[in-house]
Amino acid sequence: MIKCTKCNEVSGIARAGQVRGKQRYHCKHCNYYFTFQSPPPGKKSSPAHHATILDIAHKLKISKSTVSRALRNSADINQETRDAVLKMAQELNYVPNYFASSLVRRKSYSIGIVVPELITNFFSQFIIIAQKAASLAGYEVVICHSNESFSNEVDVLKRLFAYQVDGVLLSLSSETKSLDHLQVYSDAGVPVVLFNRVKNKPGFPTVLADDYHGAFIGTEHLVKNGYRNIGHIGGPGNLQISKNRFRGYRDALTKHGLEYNPNWTIYHDLSQADACKCAKTLLDKSSRPDAVFAVNDPAAIYLIIEAKKRGLHVGPDLGIVGFSNDSRSEVIEPSLTTLQQPIEQMAETCIHLLLNKIKDDRFAIPPTTVLKTTLIERCSSKKEGARGKEFKSLIV
Amino acid sequence: MIKCTKCNEVSGIARAGQVRGKQRYHCKHCNYYFTFQSPPPGKKSSPAHHATILDIAHKLKISKSTVSRALRNSADINQETRDAVLKMAQELNYVPNYFASSLVRRKSYSIGIVVPELITNFFSQFIIIAQKAASLAGYEVVICHSNESFSNEVDVLKRLFAYQVDGVLLSLSSETKSLDHLQVYSDAGVPVVLFNRVKNKPGFPTVLADDYHGAFIGTEHLVKNGYRNIGHIGGPGNLQISKNRFRGYRDALTKHGLEYNPNWTIYHDLSQADACKCAKTLLDKSSRPDAVFAVNDPAAIYLIIEAKKRGLHVGPDLGIVGFSNDSRSEVIEPSLTTLQQPIEQMAETCIHLLLNKIKDDRFAIPPTTVLKTTLIERCSSKKEGARGKEFKSLIV
DNA sequence: AACGATTTCGGGACCGTTCCCGATAGAGAG
DNA sequence: CTCTCTATCGGGAACGGTCCCGAAATCGTT
């Protein structure tokens, strides 16, 4: 039997809709509405009242405007008042409510970073540095990863948008073919900077390593070391980065009068499984290249492994150059010659450009920023005299 | 000359303090206060008015309460009304304001994850899985890293607290010696779950791999493979994880009647530089062990490298077992025998326990959850017949 | 002393939701 | 037709800040 929580009457109680699953009742003795939950839910988890600026104001008998001013260290405030407020805030363990502040200021003071994966160390390192730079400027960072899937990318971007991030740093998934899903961001005036895995489109500035030049000098390095039949493991065709690296590879061949053999170029989708498959495909060919420039280190690493399985001597029999200096590249045997991207510089540039744009909409981000890549020579690209020397060359 | 923006009078304008850097003036003709910014700041970055719940309400000539109900899919709402609202929301590109919602509901629907580093793949993998699990439950994840520094750890925890996270997943830095800095969290009733790098303290439940057992079977594996003089590279003494792994190592020796030689145990601080140094120190000893159980893979990897540099054959001359299955461990030569932690299970358990506690404060998280580790046998621990066979054993 | 300039403070309207409390119109019962 | 229920809606007070506007107090100058 249900009793009115106000007048304690049992009769005359009517059901009156429901809210959040709970039934509501109406007592017509005292004309009172109430909901009823069978077990009074125990010691209700008391929300541990955080101190607010009003608490400080009351204690100090001043207005909350003044407290706010003192806390934000703004002008128009007496030094003594400010000190008193600061002291009281300390005493009460005051923590500013980020949501209230963001709500009224219409800024979240956070930026989103979306990366396609987190398992190679390029992106983890990027994130570490970007986060440090952002937090120095007072910005929070929300990290998301698309897992190389376009639909995931769309999802996380939607979530970030609802999160009201002030800007986004984005590196595209291998499946992404257009930037249409970024429309909401440009409509809302939220700046987006693409990095590393980019796609050119007006309104979306990019920051990237000089993939063309890196591929060029990587391939040229193989030529100089005496390889003549140089193949290529490329990335997904829809990514700028794949195209640029391919162009660099091909132009290096051309420059040195070597013929480009399309039969020696195969493409992989940046997944690990496919990297293994590509290595096999390439080595299965009846006429195989004597060197390979790979679009990234994982592809090169699995090529080394596969070649060793088949008894080939990587270096003398098969020269290999990778791209991006994976953590495994210096410990694998032979160690992998690769191209080092300027991760730190890239991350800092991204944050710098993005924050400038956020702070002043009139700031114009340059459409593309290209950063230098450098060749790290190791053993996988040594045709002569490499055998037995591998140990010494490890960088430790 | 300054004109009143109201009555256009030039005389009788007095300065009247300043706000946010801008000078304020007072016109005594019309008794009006105003601020004056010299260059009207160009096309003011129009904040691109997001559609709100009120916009929807007005368009549909219903109240915002109803719109809110429709959007939250709650009861007390007519199906047609709900459809109309949903349609209009779509049309207006409505995105709910996360801050307003969190402000009034006093929940952020986000959790913080603090890890000591992001360069080994244990933590990156953990994060990937945890994030997926959390977002399935409608929770956002904020990722922070302490970079193995205690003061950084304190900082990021403070930031997360101000961010009003509903819960925290924390893996301690190598410098952390107590959990006192988590006091604010327990005071505020925000649950914290420690994982992997933990410290026992009432009120702070832990989730971790069975380090003791892993170390035990790892060491026992060396014994079974014929090694008799087994040394140890340990972790920082303040970490539970180091102690447990050390105990497992030592108990395995004892079980098999082998003597524990304190001279063969050295400690490193989990930094890369120190890993190199430890390898050198250990191999420099006049009487060196014939096998080493290392507290983690990086230490083992640098030991392999250093041993190879000195012409030792890892395996036959020096058996090595690591811990945590780093991505490098299967490509290094010889490949590294190591212990696989149940990353996925650990991440999911953490999220599961934390969210349960968040959703219902009465839920009691078990003080410790221990998950199984499994041995991955590779080549670095093969005393006999290992030479020349390395290639075959690579898992690809 | 009179007046203007400046510093410092208080009041209160917002920001966009959620949710509690009532109200109302039909449906169904008697 | 009257009465009771129920489904559905509206009004409005929070949530915890920020910031605009005006006022009061203080200071300096003639």
Is B93 in CB contact (< 8 Å) with chain A? Answer: yes
B243 and B306 assigned to the same domain: yes
In a domain, B7, yes or no: yes
In a domain, B368, yes or no: no
- pLDDT-derived band of residue B185, with 50, 70 and 90 as boundaries? very high
- Of B45, B301, B331, Cβ closest to residue A361: B45
Q: Nearest C-alpha of chain B: how many angstroms from A248?
A: 28
Residue A60 burial by CB count (10 A; 0-12/13-18/19+): exposed, middle or buried?
Answer: middle
The CATH number of whichever domain residue A72 belongs to comes to 1.10.260.40
Coil, strand or helix: which one is A192? strand
- Of A18, A45, A118, Cβ closest to residue B75: A18
pLDDT of residue B42: 33
Q: CA B149, CA B59: separation in Å to the nearest integer?
A: 54
Is B312 in CB contact (< 8 Å) with chain A? Answer: no
Nearest residue in A to B97, CA atom: A162
Q: Would you state the structure tokens that stand for residue A335, as one six-digit string?
A: 């160690």
Q: How many residues does chain B have?
A: 396
A262 and A381 assigned to the same domain: yes
In a domain, A366, yes or no: no
In a domain, B102, yes or no: no
Nearest residue in B to A45, CA atom: B361
Is B96 in CB contact (< 8 Å) with chain A? Answer: yes
Dihedral of alpha carbons B332, B335, B338, B343, sign? positive
Chain A neighbors of B118, CB-CB under 8 A: 118, 124-125, 127-128
Nearest residue in A to B96, CA atom: A162
pLDDT value at B46 more than 80: no
pLDDT of residue A375: 98
Is B77 in CB contact (< 8 Å) with chain A? Answer: no
pLDDT value at B41 more than 50: no
Q: Considering its fold, how many domains does chain B have in total?
A: 4
- What average pLDDT does this structure show over B174-199? 94
Nearest residue in B to A92, CA atom: B184
- Of A145, A147, A188, Cβ closest to residue B48: A188
B266 and B383 assigned to the same domain: yes
State the pTM of this model. Answer: 0.84
B88 and B228 assigned to the same domain: no
A324 and A234 assigned to the same domain: yes
* Torsion angles phi and psi, residue B85, rounded to 5: -60, -45
B146 and B245 assigned to the same domain: no
Q: CA A120, CA A324: separation in Å to the nearest integer?
A: 9
* Torsion angles phi and psi, residue B22, rounded to 5: -85, 140
Is A187 in CB contact (< 8 Å) with chain B? Answer: yes
Domain boundary among B39, B64, B96: B96
The CATH number of whichever domain residue A148 belongs to comes to 3.40.50.2300
- Of A21, A147, A309, Cβ closest to residue B391: A309
In a domain, B30, yes or no: yes
pLDDT of residue B43: 33
CB contact under 8 A, B48 and A187: yes
Q: Which nucleotide is nearest to B57 (CA to C1')?
A: D10
Chain A neighbors of B39, CB-CB under 8 A: none
Share of chain A above pLDDT 90, in %: 70
In a domain, A369, yes or no: no
In a domain, A229, yes or no: yes
Share of chain B above pLDDT 90, in %: 71
A389 and A285 assigned to the same domain: yes
CB contact under 8 A, A97 and B394: no
pLDDT of residue B128: 87
B185 and B330 assigned to the same domain: no
- Of B75, B121, B302, Cβ closest to residue A21: B75
pLDDT value at B223 more than 70: yes
pLDDT of residue A159: 86
pLDDT of residue A162: 83
pLDDT digits (tens, 9 = 90+) for B164-181: 899 999 999 999 999 999
- Asked whether the beta carbons of A208 and A198 are under 8 A apart, the reply is yes
- What average pLDDT does this structure show over B16-30? 57
Q: Which nucleotide is nearest to A103 (CA to C1')?
A: C15
Rounded, the Å distance between the CA of A57 and C1' of D18 is: 15
A257 and A125 assigned to the same domain: no
CB contact under 8 A, B103 and A97: yes
pLDDT value at B2 more than 90: no
pLDDT of residue A10: 56
Domain that holds residue B278: 211-342+374-394
pLDDT of residue A275: 93
pLDDT value at B394 more than 50: no
- pLDDT-derived band of residue B163, with 50, 70 and 90 as boundaries? confident
B254 touches strand D (CB under 7 A): no
pLDDT digits (tens, 9 = 90+) for A227-274: 999 999 999 998 999 999 999 999 999 999 999 999 999 999 999 899
CB contact under 8 A, A97 and B76: no
Least Cα distance to A370 among A169, A213, A216 occurs for A213
* Torsion angles phi and psi, residue A193, rounded to 5: -115, 125
Rounded, the Å distance between the CA of A66 and C1' of C9 is: 7
Q: Share the mean pLDDT of chain B.
A: 87
Least Cα distance to B166 among B188, B144, B145, B183 occurs for B188
- Of A99, A119, A332, Cβ closest to residue B124: A119
In a domain, B195, yes or no: yes
- Report the residue of B109, B326, B327 to disrupt the A interface, i.e. the one with the largest count of A CBs within 10 Å: B327
B120 and B191 assigned to the same domain: yes
CB contact under 8 A, B48 and A102: no
Chain B neighbors of A305, CB-CB under 8 A: 331, 394, 396
- In which residue ranges of chain A is pLDDT below 70? 1-48, 385-396
Q: What is the DSSP letter of B258?
A: P
pLDDT digits (tens, 9 = 90+) for B239-294: 999 999 999 999 999 999 999 999 999 999 999 899 999 999 999 999 999 999 99
Burial string for A82-121 (b: 16+ CB within 10 Å, else e) reads bebbeebbeeeebbebbbbbbbeeebbbbbbbbbbbbbbb
Q: What is the DSSP letter of B215?
A: H
B37 touches strand D (CB under 7 A): no
* Matching residue, tokens 């004597």: A290
Q: Which nucleotide is nearest to B76 (CA to C1')?
A: D8
- Asked whether the beta carbons of B103 and A97 are under 8 A apart, the reply is yes
Question: In chain B, positions 159-178, which contact chain A (CB-CB < 8 Å)?
Answer: 159, 161-164
A54 touches strand D (CB under 7 A): yes
Chain A neighbors of B305, CB-CB under 8 A: 331, 394, 396
Question: In chain B, positions 28-67, which contact chain A (CB-CB < 8 Å)?
Answer: 42, 45-48, 50
Is B95 in CB contact (< 8 Å) with chain A? Answer: yes
pLDDT of residue B96: 92
A172 and A309 assigned to the same domain: no
Is B138 in CB contact (< 8 Å) with chain A? Answer: no
A272 touches strand D (CB under 7 A): no
- Chain D positions with an atom below 7 A of a protein C-beta are 4-12, 14-24
- Asked whether the beta carbons of B123 and A127 are under 8 A apart, the reply is no
B161 and B249 assigned to the same domain: no
| Residues with Cβ within 8 Å of residue A14, at least 6 apart in sequence | A25, A26, A27, A28
pLDDT of residue B32: 64
Rounded, the Å distance between the CA of B116 and C1' of D15 is: 35
Q: CA B365, CA B205: separation in Å to the nearest integer?
A: 7
Chain B neighbors of A188, CB-CB under 8 A: 48, 50
Residue B137 burial by CB count (10 A; 0-12/13-18/19+): exposed, middle or buried?
Answer: middle
